[in-house]
Amino acid sequence: MTPRTRVPWQAKFASLALIWGASFLFMKFGLRWFAPLQIATARIVLGAVTVLLLLRFTGGRLPRGRRVWLHLVVVAVFLCSLPFTLFPLGEERVSSALAGIGNAITPIATVLATMALLPAQRLPARKIAAIVVGFMGVIVIAQPWDAVGQPDLVGFGITLVAGASYGIGWTWVRKYLSHADIGGLALPAALLTVAAAQMTVVVTVWWLLHRADHATPWSAQPDAVGAATGPVLSLLALGMLGTGLAYLFQFDVFRAVGQQVGSLVTYLIPIVSVVLGYVVLHERLGPWQWVGSAVVLTAAVVVSRPARLPEPAAEDVRAPSPAGTPAS
């Protein structure tokens, strides 16, 4: 038995919730020195290097086939490039706690994407009702009736789009890649490799447009606050832990207890982000935001519950949706 297999799955499950929940805090720290595009690019590149090393260490290999890689280009946008850019962009305007709550929209968005991309799959009435309730929760959080107490609607909306992009991406995987032989760490390794190429191009174009303020693509923002140590360490944590090591933990948890139990980590991520935001950054949520968050989380739980619980297949160890992957 290796040291990795001796670690109980419960410890890895708890680590996933902590790592992905803390990613919103790390992004907030990173914004003190870096722009959202810089944070996203560093996170993806560091994550790609980490997962590729893990893939090699575990004896895996990248998928093959032109069709597979063409679909991975699309999936990488929705699962990596877009959400990893939008979350820090939203956190420029809202708290890390509220950004974590925005991530909870993922299960609801997944069902909506399923209705659009997989119309043959009929949805029970309870899931449709849960979607409606979930959107009511979003409205409660936004508080359109209270201009004083409401959060920044643009920032909160950006985090909702980021969370929803995960649902679109994983539904695309189900539709177009479910029959491809992409198991274990091969999928996240391929996704992050493609996303790293995408973001390298994007951040280079961004830098060319902002050369007056940035000597290099990795130069700090002109209004950088404090020492560089915290923001740089935050980027390392986002990339190597939240977008690297967390995938290995997720793989092990799903292999140990199946997707049904492993996916419950989705509902712990917003809780961790709220607690860390309160303890570390002294962030506060208003009473309506607490109520709306509870409604959204409840709807997410209901909408992701299957009609029946199948026995988890021990041999099915594909990398599942991170639902807050890493954000998260």
- The three-state DSSP-derived secondary structure of the chain is CCHHHHCCHHHHHHHHHHHHHHHHHHHHHHCCCCCHHHHHHHHHHHHHHHHHHHHHHCCCCCCCCHHHHHHHHHHHHHHHHHHHHHHHHHHCCCCHHHHHHHHHHHHHHHHHHHHHHCCCCCCCHHHHHHHHHHHHHHHHHHCCCCCCCCCCHHHHHHHHHHHHHHHHHHHHHHHHCCCCCCCECHHHHHHHHHHHHHHHHHHHHHHHHCCCCCCCCCCCCCCCCCCCHHHHHHHHHHHHHHHHHHHHHHHHHHHHHHHHHHHHHHHCHHHHHHHHHHHHHCCCCCHHHHHHHHHHHHHHHHHHCCCCCCCCCCCCCECCCCCCHHHC
pLDDT bucket at 191, cuts 50 / 70 / 90: very high
* Residue 139 Cα to chain centre, angstroms: 22
Q: Mean pLDDT for the chain?
A: 87
Q: Is the pLDDT score of 322 beyond 50?
A: no
From residue 10, give the alpha-carbon distance in Å to each of 17, 220, 245, 264, 280.
11, 39, 16, 12, 25
d(CA 298, CA 133): 9
Q: For residue 108, which amino acid is it?
A: I
Residue 309 has pLDDT above 90, yes or no: no
- Residue 301 makes CB contacts below 8 A (sequence gap 6+) with 107, 267
Give the model's pLDDT for residue 315. Answer: 46
Instruction: Kindly tell me if the per-residue pLDDT of 231 is higher than 80.
Output: yes
Lowest-pLDDT range, 100-104, 234-238, 265-269?
265-269
What are the tens digits of pLDDT across the range 249-282? 888 888 788 666 777 788 889 999 999 999 999 9
- Kindly tell me if the per-residue pLDDT of 99 is higher than 90: yes
Arithmetic mean of pLDDT, 46-69? 92
pLDDT confidence of residue 161: 97
For the chain, the first-to-last Cα distance in angstroms comes to 32
Q: Identify the pLDDT of residue 241.
A: 94
Q: What is the pLDDT of residue 321?
A: 46
Higher pLDDT, residue 228 or 205: 205
Checking if the pLDDT of 217 tops 80, the result is yes
